[in-house]
A and B are shown apart, each in its own frame.
Chain A
Amino acid sequence: MQLTLWTYEGPPHVGAMRIATSMEGVHYVLHAPQGDTYADLLFTMIERRDRRPPVTYTTFQARDLGGDTAELVKTAVREAYERFSPQAMLVGESCTAELIQDQPGSLAQGMSLPVPIVPLELPAYSKKENWGASETFYHLVRALLLPSAPPAGTPRAPRDLSRRPRANLLGPTLLGFRCRDDVKEVARLLGELGVDVHVVAPLHATPDALRRIPEADFNVSLYPEISDTTARWLQKTFGMPIVKTVPIGIGATRDFIREVGTVAGLDVTPFLEREKLGTATMDASQSLLPWYSRSVDATYLTGKRVYIFGDATHVRCAARIAAEELGFTVVGIGTYSREFAKDIREVAARYGVEPLISDDYLDVEQAVGEAAPELVLGTQMERHIAKRLGIPCAVISTPIHVQDVPARYSPQMGFEGANVIFDTWVHPLMMGLEEHLLQMFREDFEFADGATPSHLHASPAKSEATPAPASVAVAEPVARPAPVRPSRELAPEVAEPSIEIPVIARPQVTTAVAPASAPAAAAVSATATVAAWSAGAEAELKKIPFFVRGKAKRNTEKYAAEHGLTEISVETLYDAKAHFGR
């Protein structure tokens, strides 16, 4: 039993729903009690889907449990088949049905319906959403292709050289991160390389399309969390090579192009030559990221401390972009995708940080707080963590919210994806020139401590505590929450990354001074007490621009603790500054 406040992933049957809903001509009968239909709104609200997911729920109740729940399954399967005429059906169960062991998959297979029935057994008490999606995709592909599989050991026939090479794009789904646009961008890129996209799956694929997968020359595993298992099976069974590089970021996109060249037997050098890395200019490159990153305004990005958390694929790519393409410093990295923990450990080792492999939101919140980053790249969860901590944030991975399904074209993959990423990550940060101006004019009244930086719409504290206007009030929950945070001495300073330990993890805070220093105390948990600030040091601290003051304060306290000082003087402040650097 694990106490959980927010979950990064849903149960595995939601993963199965993602496969069914991504496809055409597939229907999923789910043996589940009332309430499990909530999952429909993930698709209709977050993705703004214009159709219900192709899912029929058996909706059993307590009074059915003594009776014939199996009959409910058969009725639901029959009615769903008659009403929706699918080309293939998935039949499975949610967590509660797993306990009553009706084996809906076998029941449905026994009904001799004239379409393939794929039974799904997704253990709800040990596995999660991405695993469920991966398994479902694999079982569906396998069920449809096994009849046409060649005998084991049959060598793959060489490609017919009179046609262009063909690739399948495997892995994009609904409720994935920007899959819709990534598919378009990768297809465009492959097209320019002389490769045709044959089947995209599961997104918008039909069962018939899945049957055509082996006609292509190779598979691109775009989202390994979803497609790795299937791509490996296709490699083993049909001898189809896999392109494994996920083309997110400039370096990764170039690697992807090289890998495609190798697998497809194409010379991609001229294509890559068009961009001169290292002297990137505006018109030479397919992406503006290399040049923008070298332009002087971007100097202020140097060494920005970034914390990265999400699914394994996006985290791995993000770390490379952050370190090599934007010049950030990776101060923390982690993933909730335990299946890919090994990959993230390797990446973490490369950047000299301790990886966090956890799906516990509280662990992540604590790790972010302790790393004191200047930018968080994460999921919707980290967006809320960052909001609470007053740190800018960009979303790079699932789980997503409605705002992560933008109307405009905004891929993450390929060269255009790199452009999108540059804008999305850099805009939440203080603009370079603006930061200099703030330094220069910090005595100006407009840059007083309370002034909100222009790139942040409102202070996080304010937006939560301010009562909504009357016209909005009806849409708000009853009993609007009282502002939960205690008032703090530095409360209005939004840009300052001072840390508020969330209520759940926070010991009762009573004194006025404690909240601001609590994070420092947490960061140096070995030391029980925090040195007291002398009046002079406190006055000096106030002269430091507010947006870096929190860091200065924390560093000084850490320095004092490490040196066993009980009082912080002006000297300590500057000693600490010299010790830690910027």
Chain B
Amino acid sequence: MTTPTAPLLADGCAVDAAPRGTLPVLKERGQREVFCGLTGIVWLHRKMQDAFFMVVGSRTCAHLVQSAAGVMIFAEPRFGTAILGDRDLAGLADANDELDKCVRQLLARRPDIETLFLVGSCPSEVIKLDLSRAAERLNAEFFPRVRILNYSGSGIETTFTQGEDTCLKSLVPHMPAAPADERSVLVVGTLADVVEDQFVRLFDAMGVGPVRFFPSRRSRDLPPIGPGTRLLLAQPFVNETVRALQARGATLLTAPYPLGVAGTTQWLAAAAAEWNVPAEHFKQVIQPAADRARKAIDRYRARLDGKTLFLLPDSQLEIPLARFLHQECGMRLVEVGTPYLDRLLVQAELALLPGDVQLSEGQHLDRQLDRVRAARPDLTLCGLGLANPLEAEGLRTKWSIELVFSPIQGFDQAGDLAELFARPLERAERLTV
């Protein structure tokens, strides 16, 4: 079969030939400096502008979402917290009645809300407040004006970006069934609108489609799903969602993630192959954007080439990022940490990592920081809690949360992605103080 994959790899980038996936992994357990899944609300509420996210939790939850968002941007909130009080715990007030009251209060004030997510937290799970039953009960009152769904963003169940996974999974049962004979691509994982539009133009030019995105811009416009649906993953943290979509008949297309030229090319190629797009045509379609991307990356390559990089576990994007920064920017990988390793989602990525890479899963923060200090990498990818302290030790850092909020996928963002990593190094060079 004429698929575009082989020739493109051949003319493309330096890829280690041996397929891997059996790289040794250092598994650690201890203090984790990682957000919980509630953090996903910060970008999910911006993507789905008709949805409201109501955390059912403690003051800590409210403070977390506010702090994670507030450092970045203080927006008109489409999220809030129903804060549990002593009375809810002591059983003086029926927590379910209280929750219903909060929901009614909110929906009365926000007639524009079409989907309400009740988001579970550590305390709501420990006290076993059943949010799925609450959603059912409230749907009886509010559906169809408002659809009420629930998912867990708790730190005892989810890490940082997993909150998006649990959120999307809660939408899957409500997706309409696609006609059995319809073949379509479903891109799974939040992308910036501008990136979606770019991908749509490329797919259109190849004749691949229809292409739909999940989450969609409006939470009520859920894409249809069926045996003809091919899943293309935009984010490496949608594990459970993928399994739920597979259970509804969809087929997963295995590909690296669309970061950098190689990642984007192979990602698009996975769909093109499925649609039997002739290799020449595929190449013709992507050539201008891919050339542009190479040129954009080249501007930063000199600064990144040969520099050492340590990736602390945070957003789950670490493995694809490490692959891009190594393969296309020439960075040397000291350690690639990831909160958890689900081979279903990163198989294609692992195969592209150099054979001597140190992978680590989970975290024992102090020990990992000892390794950072011993290696003194040129650049460390880490969370906001660690960035300034490491900078103060003379280490250059890139904070990882920016990579979740920023458009970094696709050809036309490849240069921006390289620039995000080059900037701290350039800054260090500029400063004399």
Contacts and interface: CB of A to CB of B under 8 A. Distances in A.
Given A1-B98, A41-B385, A60-B156, A384 B74 contact: yes
A473 B72 CA distance: 13
Given A1-B95, A99-B127, A479-B217, A79 B366 contact: yes
B83 A4 contact: yes
Interface stretch (B224-232, B324-332, B344-352, B387-395): B387-395
A99 B191 CA distance: 37
What 3 pairs across the A-B complex have the smallest Cβ distances?
A35-B36, A35-B155, A40-B385
Contacts of A58: 31
B60 A478 contact: no
Contacts of B33: 37, 40
A124 B402 contact: no
Interface in B80-117: 80-86, 88-89, 93, 95, 98-99, 101-102, 105-106, 109-112
Contacts, number: 246
14 contacts: A2-B102, A3-B102, A10-B60, A11-B59, A33-B122, A44-B385, A44-B389, A49-B388, A96-B60, A124-B60, A477-B405, A479-B47, A481-B49, A508-B111
Contact of B32 (A37, A45, A502, A506): A37
Interface string A464-491: 0000000001111111111010000000
A51 B81 contact: no
A293 to B, nearest CB: 32
A83 interface: yes
A514 B111 CA distance: 17
B323 to A, nearest CB: 20
B384 A44 contact: yes
B209 interface: no
Interface in A415-432: none
Interface string A61-73: 1100100000000
Given A41-B385, A479-B192, A7 B68 contact: no
B407 interface: yes
Given A474-B413, A476-B406, 10 more contacts: A1-B99, A3-B105, A36-B36, A41-B67, A45-B388, A95-B60, A100-B126, A477-B42, A481-B46, A503-B112
Interface in A481-536: 481-482, 484, 502-508
Interface string A249-292: 00000000000000000000000000000000000000000000
A113 to B, nearest CB: 18
Contacts of B386: 40, 44, 52
A11 to B, nearest CB: 4
Contact of A478 (B83, B95, B125, B407): B407
Contact of B366 (A45, A83, A125, A480): A83
B76 A481 contact: yes
Contact of B31 (A39, A50, A56): A56
B389 A11 contact: no
Contacts of B278: none
B384 A45 contact: yes
B222 interface: no
Nearest to B30: A59
A48 interface: yes
A126 B62 CA distance: 14
B420 A477 contact: no
Contacts of A380: 70, 74
B73 interface: yes
A38 interface: yes
A126 B34 CA distance: 26
Interface residues of B, number: 91
Interface in B118-166: 122-123, 125-127, 154-157, 159
Interface string A121-149: 00111101000000000000000000000
A128 B58 CA distance: 11
A8 to B, nearest CB: 10
B373 interface: no
Contact of B77 (A44, A57, A79, A504): A504
Interface string A390-411: 0000000000011000000000
A33 B127 contact: no
Nearest to A502: B76
Given A1-B93, A34-B156, A123-B86, A50 B389 contact: yes
B282 interface: no
B125 A126 contact: no
Contacts of A62: 125, 154, 156-157
A481 B122 CA distance: 29
Contacts of B125: 62
Interface centre among A5, A35, A504 (most CB of B within 10 A): A35
Contacts of B389: 44, 49-52
B60 A36 contact: yes
B433 interface: no
Interface in B350-401: 366, 383-389, 391-392
B416 interface: yes
B193 interface: yes
A476 B405 contact: yes
A42 interface: yes
B170 to A, nearest CB: 18
Contacts of B413: 474
A474 B413 CA distance: 9
Contact of B126 (A4, A7, A83, A96): A96
B155 A33 contact: yes
A3 B384 contact: no
A37 B84 contact: no
Interface in A1-43: 1-7, 9-11, 13-14, 33-42
Interface centre among A34, A46, A95, A124 (most CB of B within 10 A): A34
